[in-house]
Structure 1
């Protein structure tokens, strides 16, 4: 009797174990099956064979017919690009659609298309073709669309390797050749950088993508940014460099003078260059102003360069100092005129400019905001 009871218990345990594993396998299969999606059946835009000349400020919209998930939930999409003779088994690039991959639409900038074209082997400024399609999924097992399309692109004249950040180093610079001391450029946008700095004539400098390791190196030649090499300045001076890696071009100007400009009296107070993008005048006493020349408290800065005269003003301000650092932030303006609305600062003194000693700092150092300071001693 006891032996029969043990036998029955073994049978029960065995049945439970079999049912457990069977149910687990079934659940696993269901989970996988429920993660399935239908392929995208139709690509909408751009049209097959479309030809586009890339523009650094433009973008292109890719759209397609929605796919469907077996469990009725949302589908995720990626746009895939491949070489003209590719089969998408190893796409050169994939990008998620809008709204974190949930939209059946992707807006891709021409700058990004330029990088994708470079990955596909299309040379700078040259025309070439790419294939594109869409993969749909629920996060795993992506399914390729039933269609593929071709676009023909004329690449920007920029470089394929666009740095995320840019630095200046070399014997001609204010910091020398130690890579760890390289000067950082201000990043204005993807592939766009600028810096104000002093360079010594006849000595080399170069641009690098990092301050450690073996960074990408660039130089300037014939109005273009090129990979490798070094550059020199024709004369020792303070220069602004603006570089756009998307178009492979740069602009430069030599800054010859920076001065505080008092709006009413039109008095100019010149600031000497201190270094590292900073102009500074300390212990300067303003005298000889009276009447409106003394009491009107509005001021701004002017810069003279090989490209002409510009003004540095507030972006939008017409009030006394607030105590906030942002009050002193500056932007460069091309319209140079005595009176400007809502784009100036005001002397912190309440009794005029005259007979006071000032420390005046004008900073275009790229480690922070472009700013200035006016301290009454």
Structure 2
């Protein structure tokens, strides 16, 4: 009996040693220093192509899986950010394998999200995050910079010109040159130009790309049946079919102030009455319950003046409304959406005050989904545009 108990004691002792051995093995799991592991890629410079963009692989990232000293399940997250970002709001891909591929379409979406210009080489930075189960022991690789040339996802009906002017007997120049700044259109975004100006009723105008003479091509109405409030336009030049086709647009019957928008995706233009040509304030602020300061404002919500007509700010927005004002307290006039149905990512705005017609007209602007946006406000075209 004593011999049997001794054998049992030896077995228990051996089991205890085995348990200690497991504990010792677990203790060898160590967290490496950030930047020790290298993120590798199949390329450092990628020109993205639109053809077969959803099926072609643009770049593959790969890495060593043994980050923690032993073979243990590890979660990986590829993080991509703008070259000036701090990885606080990256595009992420979570996986457990040791490589991640992106198609041309996927990488193009990321490049455009971080505002790289189409057909221009730009840069993104990439890093890898690793952690054990439940987010334990997070650690980061080195940061890798890649050069990316994205393609435009716009289906432009006509190529977007670099500059655009209005000419005709409906405007002040009356077909003469040079064209003044008052007839120089503002590029609103990547497919539209706009301008608020005075038109003489019952006359004609066209869009041209030169301030010193008629351009080849110019942009005109396809025929005289296009309404005065707008419609389709066509390029007209020596290489169009037919050559120098079309006719100048007609202005509305009544002389007055109008906003003209021309859209190179749709191939259309519009002419809408405006209360007046807006004076540009010295300063501009954003205010509203969609902003961090609510319906008060402060220096942190002041726009930067970009040029004589344009202001811009980058700010976090939540669900709610906002307006623009020209002082730290509510201003007269303030600047509101022209209608209550302006698109969430930008639209038309008007002056709204005690002396406007109607007094305090317009609508509070509706914010898009919560996020950080750059808002660009242009007083020459009476438009605002949001971009992530």
TM-score range, shorter chain: 0.3 to 0.5
Give TM-score scaled by structure 2 length.
Answer: 0.35
**Higher Cα Rg: structure 1 or 2?**
1
- Please state which structure has a larger fraction of its residues in helix: 1
Give TM-score scaled by structure 1 length.
Answer: 0.36
